[in-house]
Amino acid sequence: MVRRIRAGNVKTALYEITKELVAKGTYSTPNAVRELRSKHGKAVDTDLQDVLDMGLKVIAGIVRSRPNGNADQGDLTRELGIREFETFFFNGPDGKSESKVVNVLDSTLEVYDARVVPVKKSRAALNVKEGSAKYFEEMREQGLVGVTLRRYLADRR
């Protein structure tokens, strides 16, 4: 069975548009999208479900990775430079590593310590305590084992 390329018509059209716009020196994402819609509307219509799925996945990733939290936590997470949701690798029951999105603010030190490595962090970056890691280390030093990060940060203010 041959694997289907998702949004293949749109990807091909965007490749051609990108080549043209770069050659003219006028490439920008908005220009490429404008050209795609005006010259290749049929390709967009044909691949619409794929384009929607891909776009929604991108938006979901952006929402998950932004340090905005809810209305009550937004200022707190922005001010402290942490994200409410982080991806951690855990050792799964079968011994294989699996990734899970974790609400860091509602996590305790036990959850944090159970993780293997945050996604997209080198060992060197792990040695520099930043974001939530900095505050979990503070919690460890103070022996705050069963307290959530949200509670710790609220009490810390």
DSSP 25-57: T---HHHHHHHHHHH-HHHHHHTHHHHHHHHHH
Q: Where are the alpha helices (DSSP H) in the chain?
A: 8-24, 29-39, 41-46, 48-65, 74-80, 109-114, 123-127, 132-141, 149-156
pLDDT grade, residue 131 (50/70/90)?
A: confident
- What pTM was estimated for this model as a whole? 0.54
Residue with tokens 């084992």: 145
Which of these ranges, 69-73, 107-111, 112-116, has the smallest mean pLDDT?
69-73
Residue with tokens 């705050």: 144
* Residue 72: strand, helix, or coil: coil
| Confidence at residue 124, expressed as pLDDT on a 0 to 100 scale | 47
Q: What would the mean pLDDT of 134-146 be, rounded to a whole number?
A: 90
Q: Could you give the CA distance from residue 69 to residue 67 in angstroms, rounded to a whole number?
A: 6
Better-predicted residue by pLDDT, 144 or 91: 144
CB of 77 closer than 8 Å to CB of 67: yes
